[in-house]
Amino acid sequence: MIPAAFEYHAPATLKEATALMRRFGDDAKVLAGGQSLIPMMKLRLADVPHLIDLRRVSGLAYIKEQDGGLAIGAMTTYHELEASSLVRRYAPFIVEAIDLIADVQVRNKGTIGGSAAHADPAADLPALLVALEARINTTGGARARHIAADRFFVDAYTTAMGPSEVISEITLPALPLRTGTSYRKFANKASHFAVVGAAAVVTLGADGLCERVRLGITGAGPKAARSKRAERYLEGKAPTQENFQTAARKAGHGIEFLEDIHGSAEYRRHLTSVFAARALAEAVQRVAD
Amino acid sequence: MATYTGQSLRRTEDERLLLGNGNFTDDIVLPGTLHAAFLRSDRAHARIVSIDASAGLAIPGVVAVMTAADLGDVPNKTMIVKRDGMQEDKMIPHPILATDRVRYVGEPIAIVVAEERYLAFDALEYIVVEYDPLPAVVDPRQAMKDEVILHEDIGTNVVMKVLEGEGDIEEAFGKADHVVGHRYDDPRISAFPMEPRATLASYSPEEKRLTVWTSSQVPHQIKRYLAPMLGLEPDQVRAIAPDVGGGFGRKIELWSDEVALSVLSMKLGRPVKWTEDRRENLLSTHGRAFTSDVEAAINNDGTILGMRFRMIADLGAYFYTSTGGPLSNAAHRVAGPYGIPVMDIEVLGVFTNGPPTGPYRGAGGPEAALLTERIIDVAAGVIGMDPAEVRRRNFISADAFPYKTATGYTYDSGDYQRAFDRALELSEHDGWREAQRKRGPNEPLLGIGVAAAVKASGGSARTRNARADVYVEPSGAVKITTEASPHGQGTETTFAQIAADALGVPYESITILHSDSDMLESGHGTTSSRGLAVAGSAMYEALIQTRAKAAAIAGHILGCAADDVVFEDGKVYSASDPEQAMAFSELASAAYRPEKLPEGLEAGLDTKVSFTLDSNPFGFGAHVAVVEVDRDTGDVKLIRYTAVHDCGILINPMVVEGQIHGGLVQGISQALYEAMYYSPDGQPLTASLMNYAVPIAEELPTLVTDSLETPSPTNAMGIKGVGELPTVGSPPAVANAIMDALAGMGVDNLDTPITPERVWRAMQAAR
Ligand SMILES: Cc1cc2nc3c(=O)[nH]c(=O)nc-3n(C[C@H](O)[C@H](O)[C@H](O)COP(=O)(O)OP(=O)(O)OC[C@H]3O[C@@H](n4cnc5c(N)ncnc54)[C@H](O)[C@@H]3O)c2cc1C
């Protein structure tokens, strides 16, 4: 549990940070909360000759309203999100999901940017980011980019970011009126990461039908992704248990299910439909509340 | 008179530990210390073609790299003793360091020492080991086929056989109304101490003396075994167990790692320190690891006529001293609290390409109870009787003690029926049965499980003896040296309670000294629930002798008979004339002045005792678990847990409750969460907390506990021991509750750990 030797850099600005990234290329990684990176270095699963600490860079931790939605600085911690009334008002499932991530100590350190950049297939927030159609704003590449969440997550531990890019901000668009949200997770008994997590964002129309449905799934496959078949099926239909179940059965479509000691592919497929149905039902329930 | 005994005094140990002022092995800093790291095999089975450490040695700050070739005169094997069922020609001990072959992932090959811990770890990456891979076998049933043989010179992997029992099993099966049978797997699990192993070995070339601080339950054994291996006299080795963060049976060995560190310290003349990391700990040794067939013959009236057990224990790749221990223990312990007349037991021990196994809290008891307690539920199902009722009909009755089981044990005392009924009542067992009947199809399944268990305390005849010294200083302060080596048991508190009452002195005036081989020349440490039963009884005997001498002196001074002297509240007085009194401190001071003493009495108030506990006391536990099972996912939630224990007379009920809580949780965890999984080729799949599951507080319900005290006639204090007892009954109680929840669906067998996916699959298959 002792990392290999590394060089530590503590830039004061994002510009300096990205300059260091360009200079050291593959030999460099940025450090945010360190809750994934440090354990990997200690287990010598990650060899990082140059560690560029973003914690001295000012102006990367904030939560503000923007165009009816939210703009969140990459270095905002789980705890800051959890404690924010803006976040709670915008979409309560963010607070609920964070409450299911690790423990207080980890949440005091871990960041939204780190969770997104790390792209752990079992991480919780990515499911919400795809369901909310978040944008991941990066800097340090040829130009600043605003990457849609469902294009950002490419594969296990792999994102659409280039080698010198850094996440600066994540924006969450405005949600229509009469929208409910829910995140339901089946936790791995050892790590408590998601074996399967389902994030639902459902808007009911004036006619009482499901008007807009977004469903993000994490844990089941190599990356967090939207279940577009399930979404399409439910849109325009009545919010009934039966419709949720049918939609949920389509939620696994296109997922290459993972398999490990915490769940076979078959079990993950089953859990995906169970938890999708539970999240959809709860999201709808919350519109009414 | 008991002022302190029976009181829930706060533990004297806690303040220091809770404030972070503990003194664990890793906290000890000696000048000039070198830091060690082990290079361990990443192959399950391979020949070692070559080891090249030159690049590692070249790193500045790296002081030495030692392999088996550098051991010199030190024999490359750990100490083992022959246990029941072991065969002289098949006792292959664990090497100190691997020579030409590795047989499990994690087996130590080389050890690096450096000026800094970081450098030692860096150097590991520069030591090149060339392997020639061999096929591996990790499943003990597969290993029994001897297709892959671990030690060719003995020609087989099957190296132990224990037979036990009484009566004609075929006859019992022939005449029974029903015979039921099942196979149960009980996988490898980790003892998971909060503090992993840690050792600091320091040889002084000037004093020609080696001091070893080590996270151990048995410092005296460390000394006893280590000295001859290193070519030293016993008094040239001092072993100290400082604060130890849990052991659970897996710190009762002299580990090869400890030997290697000692050899290095002697070679280099400097202290050498090593603290294991969690991965190393998870790969070092395991408990349980049984797979067994069990059959039971039962009549329609609930009478159990006999049981047959065919058990296979996975020993791992080599023997350590305690490796074979659980086998014969399990053979005796399958009897449980029942008067089953016919028992037929065979336990085989098999080498596999896994780390050595050995006793883990319960040491064969939980392995046995899992079988007996689960098959009783199956039998109850067949005759359509409530499992609680089947148990009540087969309990050994309170007036039948001493009771000799068909498995060769003699139980001392107990009232199983009463404790069991108390557990049923406290758990609202009948109310839950009612609730179960009322459950709707959209609610989670509800299951109720019971289990009952008996556990011996004190260990085998070899360890049922103990040393204790009591020394009353002239000031009246009392120093007691015990051979118990506590690591969480609260021994400093409970032993002081006993001593304060025995001498009628304030609790604060007692100091309990332990865990240093220079304080007592021998000892067996804290293992096998022997702390209070054996080491405590030895101390009690020493206290009685001390008091007798003190009474003789006091009688002489006060002018009364020795048996008229009363010790109370720090005072000593004559019962018949209480005016004749003195302070205990005055008496203590007088004891060291020959002119104050009666004729023929030597000065001093110190007593050395060697004590033998002739037979084991047996404790009892009754358990009731209530679970809910999610019909969609198979996830199990433990919603209520009740346990009633009889561990004899309670010295400190709060300390006992703490032991019970810990034991219950370890057992619950075994039923629901824990398993060390290996791939078929011997690679570990659960070598970190990302994959090895242990419960967290929020996953457990409030544990409801109660005690019943039937004094044990085996010892003067009437105590029975509690360390391992709660771990014996809790795994089957939880398993039985889950099976009860699933009974309506036709699911009849699930192996522990009963994971959500296993439940879900069983429900799918039954649909
Ligand atoms: C005990 C424990 C339990 C946990 N349980 C859960 C759980 O249940 N669910 C869950 O989702 N997570 C869990 N986590 C992981 C946790 O959420 C991590 O904090 C998170 O995955 C990474 O965030 P971080 O800020 O710590 O990132 P770091 O560990 O600092 O970095 C992670 C990776 O992202 C990169 N990175 C970080 N910030 C940026 C940025 N702004 N731009 C570009 N790259 C960046 C780093 O270079 C690194 O590769 C757990 C962690 C621990 C220690």
Confidence of residue B2 (pLDDT cuts 50, 70, 90): confident
For A28, B409, B664, B694, B695, the CA distances from A191, given in Å and listed in that order, are 27, 43, 22, 9, 10
- Answer yes or no: do A163 and A222 share one domain: no
B691 and A1 within 8 Å at the Cβ level: the answer is no
Q: Check: CB of residue B53 under 8 Å from CB of residue B130.
A: no
Distance A138 CA to ligand 1 centre (A): 17
Of the candidates A172, A204, A228, which is a domain's last residue?
A: A172
- Answer yes or no: do A88 and A149 share one domain: yes
Residues of chain B above pLDDT 90, percent: 98
Mean of pLDDT over chain B: 97
C-alpha B644/C-alpha B451 separation (Å) is 11
B491: closest CA among B460, B516, B526?
B526
Task: Look at residue A76 and tell me if it is in a domain.
Answer: yes
- Answer yes or no: do A278 and A226 share one domain: yes
Tell me the residue range of the domain where A194 lies.
179-288
Of the candidates A146, A172, A198, which is a domain's last residue?
A: A172
Q: Which domains does chain B have, with CATH numbers?
A: 17-134+193-247+251-284 (3.90.1170.50), 365-457+616-766 (3.30.365.10), 460-612 (3.30.365.10)
Pocket test for ligand 1, best of A52, A56, A111 (most atoms within 8 A of CB): A111
C-alpha B677/C-alpha B499 separation (Å) is 47
Ligand 1 contact via A227 beta carbon (within 6 Å): no
Alpha-carbon gap: A155 to the closest alpha carbon of chain B (Å): 20
Ligand 1 contact via A30 beta carbon (within 6 Å): yes
Task: Look at residue A241 and tell me if it is in a domain.
Answer: yes
Confidence of residue B509 (pLDDT cuts 50, 70, 90): very high
Ligand 1 contact via A126 beta carbon (within 6 Å): no
- What end-to-end distance do the CA atoms of chain B give, in Å? 64
Of B117, B685, B689, the CB nearest to A261: B685
Q: How many other C-beta atoms are found inside a 10 Å radius of the C-beta of residue B168?
A: 11
Q: How many residues does chain B have?
A: 767
Mean pLDDT within B334-348: 98
B181: closest CA among B344, B329, B326?
B344
B324: closest CA among B334, B332, B316, B336?
B316
Pocket test for ligand 1, best of A6, A9, A31, A37 (most atoms within 8 A of CB): A37
Q: How many other C-beta atoms are found inside a 10 Å radius of the C-beta of residue B475?
A: 10
Alpha-carbon gap: A274 to the closest alpha carbon of chain B (Å): 7
Distance B190 CA to ligand 1 centre (A): 28
Of B686, B689, B761, the CB nearest to A261: B686
- Answer yes or no: do A97 and A184 share one domain: no
C-alpha A104/C-alpha A109 separation (Å) is 9
Ligand 1 contact via A34 beta carbon (within 6 Å): yes
Q: Phi, psi (5° rounding) for residue B528?
A: 50, 35
Mean pLDDT within B312-328: 97
Mean pLDDT within B674-690: 97
Task: Look at residue A199 and tell me if it is in a domain.
Answer: yes
* Residue B1, pLDDT score: 56
- Answer yes or no: do A161 and A210 share one domain: no
A→B interface, C-beta within 8 Å: 1-2, 4-5, 43-44, 186, 188-193, 260-264, 267, 270-271, 274
Ligand 1 contact via A107 beta carbon (within 6 Å): no
Task: Look at residue A252 and tell me if it is in a domain.
Answer: yes
Of the candidates A172, A190, A208, which is a domain's last residue?
A: A172
Of A5, A188, A267, the CB nearest to B760: A267
Task: Look at residue A118 and tell me if it is in a domain.
Answer: yes
- What CATH number is given to the structural domain containing A261? 3.30.390.50
Which positions in chain A touch B279 (Cβ < 8 Å)? 1, 43
* Residue A160, pLDDT score: 98
Distance from the Cα of residue B438 to its chain's centroid:
41
C-alpha B98/C-alpha B94 separation (Å) is 9
Alpha-carbon gap: A185 to the closest alpha carbon of chain B (Å): 12
C-alpha B470/C-alpha B458 separation (Å) is 21
Mean pLDDT within B124-141: 97
Q: Check: CB of residue B188 under 8 Å from CB of residue B314.
A: yes
Distance B220 CA to ligand 1 centre (A): 46
C-alpha B424/C-alpha A256 separation (Å) is 49
C-alpha B491/C-alpha B662 separation (Å) is 16
- Answer yes or no: do A71 and A124 share one domain: yes
Mind listing the pLDDT tens digit for each residue in A261-277? 999 999 999 999 999 99
Most distant CA pair in chain A, distance: 62
- Answer yes or no: do A117 and A163 share one domain: yes
* Residue B210, pLDDT score: 98
In this model, does residue A289 exceed pLDDT 90? Answer: no
Pocket test for ligand 1, best of A101, A125, A262 (most atoms within 8 A of CB): A101
Bridge-partner residues for A73, per DSSP? A169
Ligand 1 contact via A41 beta carbon (within 6 Å): no
Ligand 1 contact via A137 beta carbon (within 6 Å): no
Distance B278 CA to ligand 1 centre (A): 21
Which positions in chain A touch B757 (Cβ < 8 Å)? 262-264, 267
One-letter amino acid for residue B50 of the chain? S
DSSP secondary structure string for all residues of chain A: --PPP-EEE--SSHHHHHHHHHHHGGGEEEESS-TTHHHHHHTTSS--SEEEEGGGSTT---EEEETTEEEEETT-BHHHHHT-HHHHHH-HHHHHHHHTSS-HHHHHH-BHHHHHHH--TT-SHHHHHHHTT-EEEEESSSS-EEEEHHHHEEETTEES--TT-EEEEEEEPPPPSSEEEEEEEEE-TTT--EEEEEEEEEEE-TTSSEEEEEEEEESSSSS-EE-HHHHHHHTTS---HHHHHHHHHTTTTT-----BTTB-HHHHHHHHHHHHHHHHHHHHHHHH-
Task: Look at residue A1 and tell me if it is in a domain.
Answer: no
Q: Check: CB of residue B352 under 8 Å from CB of residue B314.
A: yes
Ligand 1 contact via A114 beta carbon (within 6 Å): yes
Alpha-carbon gap: B59 to the closest alpha carbon of chain A (Å): 13
Residue of B nearest to A269 (CA): B633
In this model, does residue B700 exceed pLDDT 60? Answer: yes
* Residue A133, pLDDT score: 98
> B402: cis peptide before it, omega within 30°?
yes
Mean pLDDT within A7-33: 96
Distance A121 CA to ligand 1 centre (A): 12
Which positions in chain B touch A267 (Cβ < 8 Å)? 757, 760-761
- Residue that the structure tokens 């060089």 belong to: A7
User: Which DSSP helix (H) or strand (E) runs through B348?
Assistant: strand B342-351
C-alpha A213/C-alpha A133 separation (Å) is 11
Task: Look at residue A2 and tell me if it is in a domain.
Answer: no
Mind listing the pLDDT tens digit for each residue in A112-155? 999 999 999 999 999 999 999 999 999 999 999 999 999 999 99
Cβ neighbourhood burial of B727 (10 Å; 0-12, 13-18, 19+): buried
Mind listing the pLDDT tens digit for each residue in A94-107? 999 999 999 999 99
Q: Phi, psi (5° rounding) for residue B502?
A: -65, -35
- Answer yes or no: do A219 and A245 share one domain: yes
- Answer yes or no: do A216 and A233 share one domain: yes
Q: Which atom of ligand 1 is nearest to the CA of A46?
A: 49
B586: closest CA among B553, B628, B552, B627?
B553
Q: Which two tokens stand for residue B519?
A: 């304080």
B→A interface, C-beta within 8 Å: 117-118, 121-122, 125, 277-279, 632-633, 635, 672-673, 677, 685-686, 688-694, 696, 755-757, 760-761
Residues ≥6 apart with Cβ < 8 Å to A80: A61, A63
Task: Look at residue A267 and tell me if it is in a domain.
Answer: yes
Ligand 1 contact via A31 beta carbon (within 6 Å): yes
B755 and A189 within 8 Å at the Cβ level: the answer is yes
Residue nearest to atom 52 of ligand 1 (CA): A35
- Answer yes or no: do A187 and A139 share one domain: no
In this model, does residue B631 exceed pLDDT 80? Answer: yes
- What CATH number is given to the structural domain containing A45? 3.30.43.10
Q: Which two tokens stand for residue B315?
A: 């020993």
Name the CA radius of gyration of chain A, rounded: 19
Mean pLDDT within A46-53: 96
B677 and A261 within 8 Å at the Cβ level: the answer is yes
- Answer yes or no: do A81 and A128 share one domain: yes
B690 and A189 within 8 Å at the Cβ level: the answer is no
* Residue B748, pLDDT score: 81
Residue of B nearest to A43 (CA): B279
- Answer yes or no: do A184 and A284 share one domain: yes
Q: How many other C-beta atoms are found inside a 10 Å radius of the C-beta of residue B384?
A: 7
Alpha-carbon gap: A267 to the closest alpha carbon of chain B (Å): 7
Alpha-carbon gap: A172 to the closest alpha carbon of chain B (Å): 31
For B39, B60, B68, B418, B763, the CA distances from B57, given in Å and listed in that order, are 13, 8, 16, 67, 58
- State the count of interchain CB pairs (< 8 A) between A and B: 52
Mind listing the pLDDT tens digit for each residue in B387-417? 999 999 999 999 999 999 999 999 999 999 9
Looking at the structure of chain A, the number of domains it has is: 3
